[in-house]
Amino acid sequence: MKEFELIQNIFQASVMASTQGREDLLLGIGDDCAQVQVPQGQSLVFSMDTLVEGRHFPFDADPVDIGYRAVASCVSDLAAMGAKPAFFTLGLTIPQSDPQWLAGLAQGMAELAEPIGLALVGGDTTKGPLTITLQVHGYVEADMAVKRSAAKVGDDIYVTGLLGDAAAAVPIVTGELQVSSERFDYFYERFWRPQPRLIAGMALKRVVHAMMDISDGLAQDIQHILKASGVGANIDAGRLPMSAQLRQWQPDSAVALALTGGDDYELCFTAPKEQAAEIALITQTLSLPCTKIGEIVAEAEGFVIQNYEGEIRGWQHF
């Protein structure tokens, strides 16, 4: 199949969320550029992620799983800004034109993109080692986008969800480790089907100071907030939220996985102490676990992790 046929026959039909009645989309797939009209009072935010076979996902992985995870990992950045998903573009490098494989990838993308209103509006396809690049676009009120640079001394530090499961799943999904079928199913799902916290991000943006998603490990990612805000942090590793499955399976390394493992795509945010009740109301309404794990301190006090003696290095690309 030629490049245009790939996009037209597979991705436009299978991935693109319904655009009927969308006043913000002026021109979609089929022209040199997409054209959108940003709604009045909103600003456009966008982020890009690249996934490489053998680096970010195993060789011969199910294309449906790859498609879902590609969208989830990129959309998580929108959640961290408190933004509503709008559109995405797809850069796809593939070793060969395999319509069945591409249909699976499109199916996985649609599994998440359609329910959240994320529409495919363009992209590019080329031949080479399997590489998937997504750029997602979203809308947020111009003065409401949550940044990494606004953490304040005295803020509480929170994380949503559970940490460590995805990192623990890596040797399972790569086939390096054999486990029971029940354990396999749980951890396989935790790796391939992360849940970007979009609704939580949109709700929390009005009460938090700084926020980001956890992709490279909590201990590493939170330092981006500290550096951007010019503050320090005191975290209690004993408070990290972990699943019973992880604690039972990896009792000696569960804390390290939760702290440094990455691939969780949960939210880490800081907020004033007086917002604790509102944060509890929001997260309880969403049935979303949310745990206070520490406090923002003065920069001179540094970055301290209590009840942990291991290394704090997270994911490194180089």
SS3 percent helix, strand, coil of the chain, rounded to 5, is 40, 25, 35
Closest CA to 199 of 141, 264, 285: 285
Helix, coil or strand: residue 12: helix
Taking the C-alpha atoms of residue 268 and residue 284, their distance in angstroms, rounded to an integer, is 17
Interior/surface letters 127-155, b for 16+ CB within 10 angstroms, e for the rest: eeebbbbbbbbbbbeeeebbbbeebeeeb
Q: Is 148 annotated as a binding residue?
A: yes
User: How far apart are the C-alpha atoms of 251 and 164, rounded to whole Å?
Assistant: 12
Check the annotation: does 156 bind a ligand: no
DSSP state of 9: I
> Would you say 143 is a known binding-site residue?
no
Is 216 marked within a binding site? yes
Q: Is 315 annotated as a binding residue?
A: yes
* Cα–Cα distance for residue pair 191/68, rounded to 1 Å: 11
In the 8-state DSSP scheme, what is residue 154?
A: T
- Whether 263 has a binding-site annotation, put simply, is yes
What is the β-pairing status of strands 231-236 and 131-141? unpaired
The one-letter code for the residue type at 281 is: L
215 is in an annotated binding site: yes
The rounded distance, in Å, linking the Cα atoms of 121 and 89 is 6
- The answer on whether 213 is annotated among ligand-binding residues is yes
47 annotated as a binding-site residue: yes
Residue numbers belonging to the annotated binding site for substrate? 56, 263, 315
Residue numbers belonging to the annotated binding site for ATP? 123-124, 148, 215
Residue numbers belonging to the annotated binding site? 32, 47, 49, 56, 77, 123-124, 148, 213, 215-216, 263, 315
Residue numbers belonging to the annotated binding site for Mg(2+)? 32, 47, 49, 77, 124, 213, 216
